[in-house]
Amino acid sequence: MSRLVIIANRLPVTITKREGRLSLHPSTGGLATGLGSFYREKKGLWLGWPGMPSQNLRGLEREVTSRLEALDCRPVFLTRHQVENFYYGFSNKTLWPLFHYFVQYTTFDDRLWEAYKRANQHYCQAALEVATEDDTIWIHDYQLLLLPGMLREKLPKASIGFFLHIPFPSFEIFRLLPWREEIMEGLMGADLIGFHTYDYVRHFLSSARRLLGYDHSMGLITTRERMVKVDTFPIGIDFLRFFRAGELPEVKSEIQRMKRRIGDRTVILSVDRLDYTKGIIQRLKAYDLFLEKNPQYRERVTLVMVAVPSRTKVDRYMELKREVDEQIGRINGRYGTLGWSPILYLYRSLPFTTLTALYNMAQVALITPLRDGMNLVAKEYVASKRDNLGVLILSEMAGAAREMGEALIVNPFNLKEVADALKAAIEMGEEEQRGRNLRMKERLRRYDVKRWAGEFMEKLASVREIQERMEAKKLRGIALRRLLDAYKSSRRAILFLDYDGTLVPFSDRPDKARPDGELRELLRHLAGIPNNRVVLVSGRSREVLQEWFEGLPVDMVAEHGVWLKEQGSPWELIGPLKQDWKEDIRPIMEVYVDRTPGALIEEKEFSLVWHYRRSDPELGYQRARELKDALLNITENLNLSILEGNKVIEVKPSNVNKGMAATRWLSQGAWDFIMAAGDDWTDEDLFDAMPQEAYSIKVGFSVSKARFNMDSPLLIQGLLREMIKAKREERG
């Protein structure tokens, strides 16, 4: 039976040991609370580190395992060395700073990378002990970027999803990683890769294109083996838990207690893990500026700053702690009076009651990370506001800003802007506050963490369906045997074969794809079989085809159907065609050659082709869109059509295509075996023209009118060899 297996660096519970006795506590953080209920409802299993190095557990592993089992958790034990190098090391000294754009804090160290790889292997081993190919495996976050690929290798048929909780940086940042390709390949082991925002999706797709050469269509990437979907799933929170918290008696009394302490001052709240990405220093400076510029608010506001100790063993975090302490001391010293401290600082993790009491009583939440994948505190604050009063000031660098446009959105580096936003927040009228919060709250209620997880799971299932449909179309097994049998017993067979991308793989320059001796021999044998016709249907010019296939007993179609040639006869034009339109089109294409390094124009007798295979893939793709737009306007009146092929844009008369050319042969009598193979858009016309019983084969995975798919030109060549063999057997 299929089961949900969640794998994250940490378990939703953490173990601690005091005087030799173990105890379990829920882990903090949105993932643990959000998914904690989800996986149990689904009767799933959660795999992760229980938070204590195995050296400290000596002898207690069994007890830990059995206590966790009761919670449907399975521990992955890490040694002190692994915690040091994998967790504090590569995860938090390399990936965390780099993915948050803190290049200057990033350590590039091969030793840490090796530890990271080994640790991912270690999680993989642990997963293999419990997961099977029938399971749905959902892997979380930056500590396990290689795990999808490792698991895919061992469980080729499993459903594997991956979600990244932190930003995926722009290619310009990601490219700095010496191990970037391995990381991308690792992620590609998943069927579905999820991010919080569309920006991260865009960045990821761009890296996939540039580093691995994988194109995509609407976020669907076709790798060599499979389809991988990349999509946005902004994480939600457990809305009701926060919304209802204000009603709990213990929260109410906590609020009263705090009010006694703070008085009726306006409370500005700041809550985060103590991390340099959260912008705490800049926030303090902005608060300083606010107090300086607005003396009327001194003694009337209190900034409650909650910082959760985090990664305390990493130098950078110790330094940050010192700096925060200093800043707070400085501000409190500068403005404080006997009865008033401008900042109330809490350096600790808070129980839910205290945290939600603070959310409830704070008039302003000041959440200004320099980079943040999403930021759940912003959402929790708004969800907690039963009366819809309170103002959220939110950094535009947080993923949450994409969904919470009604907040006061600020650039956390712009101290003046943040200081002004503080003033605006304090002075904002109640009606406006209600209006803004209500809209945000309704979205948070609808798209809560359950819905988030549910949608991820649904999308994963739908990707699997697409893959299965593609899988079913693969020409192999019974279908392949049927084709070979039909061919073997046929009396008049015709094969339409596209050339580039179908018989040979693509190369950088259109003139480098010349057929080698082996391929020529293959075609000679195939076309030499009695009552067999082989028609090469290509987009190339007739001169090129003539030169390359001279002397072979094949028929040819050049320029996507403009020129036709039957064996022994001269080239023939398919019908009267014009060329004068080229004068209008060429100058436009030339502009795009100038603007796109690596692009070139190929001129054929009746068509013009703009190639961008050798250009920067992103730029080429972008320019191809622009060129197509520019051409659309004028081609309509000229009776021309624009074809988008593999890294080419081709303009040609619209009354010509590969399908029309093929009908010339199809109409030549009763064929009892028809096959057509092609790889790009221009071949869709060919497939379209085929009768129903024909064997049409698309090379590659994208959607097509063809009945079957094959992975690569190599397999097509293999198929043709099999066909020759079958005929030979038939003829004895």
Binding site for ligand ADQ (CB under 6 A): 28-31, 165-166, 235, 271, 273, 306, 308, 349-350, 355, 372-377, 380
Q: Cβ of residue 224: shortest distance to ligand ADQ, in angstroms?
A: 31
Residue nearer to ligand ADQ on the CB measure, 9 or 136: 9
Element (H, E) at 115: helix 110-130
Q: CA 618: distance to chain centroid?
A: 16
Q: What dihedral do alpha carbons 496, 500, 503, 508 form, nearest 10°?
A: 180
Task: Please say which residue, 311 or 565, places its beta carbon nearer to ligand ADQ.
Answer: 311
The least CB distance from residue 375 to ligand ADQ, in Å, is 5
Cα 266 from Cα 286, distance rounded (Å): 17
Alpha carbons 203 and 99: distance in angstroms, whole number: 11
To the nearest whole angstrom, how small is the minimum distance from the Cβ of residue 437 to ligand ADQ?
A: 18
* Shortest CB 374 distance to ligand ADQ, Å: 3
Structure tokens at 18: 């005091």
Instruction: Using CB atoms within 10 Å of the CB of residue 688, give its burial: 0 to 12 exposed, 13 to 18 middle, 19+ buried.
Output: middle
Contact predicate 22/59, CB 8 Å = no
Report the distance separating Cα 573 and Cα 556, nearest Å.
12
Dist. CA 174–CA 189, nearest whole Å: 19
Instruction: Cite the active site residues.
Output: 498
Torsion sign, CA atoms 163, 166, 169, 173 = negative
| Residue 516: other Cβ atoms inside 10 A | 9
Query: Which residue lies nearer to ligand ADQ by CB, 29 or 219?
Result: 29
Q: Closer to ligand ADQ by CB, 308 or 428: give it.
A: 308
Closer residue to ligand ADQ in complex, CB, 304/608: 304
Considering only CA atoms, which of 183, 138, 189, 196 is closest in space to residue 162?
138
Please report how close the Cβ of residue 168 comes to ligand ADQ at its closest, in angstroms.
12
Own/partner contacts of 17-21, CB < 8 Å, gap of 24 or more, are 17/52, 17/56, 17/57, 17/60
| Residue 156: CB minimum distance to ligand ADQ, A | 29
Q: How many angstroms separate the most distant Cα atoms in the chain?
A: 107
Cβ closer to ligand ADQ: 54 or 302? Answer: 302
CA distances from 152 to 15, 118, 131, 185, 639 (A): 31, 16, 12, 11, 49
Q: What is the rounded distance in angstroms from the CA atom of residue 368 to the CA atom of residue 271?
A: 10
Residue holding tokens 């379209």? 688
Cβ proximity to ligand ADQ, 237 vs 544, nearer residue? 237
Shortest reach from residue 517's CB to ligand ADQ, in Å: 57
**Residue found by looking up tokens 């502009």 in the block:** 591
Can you count the helices (H) and strands (E) in the chain?
Answer: 26, 29
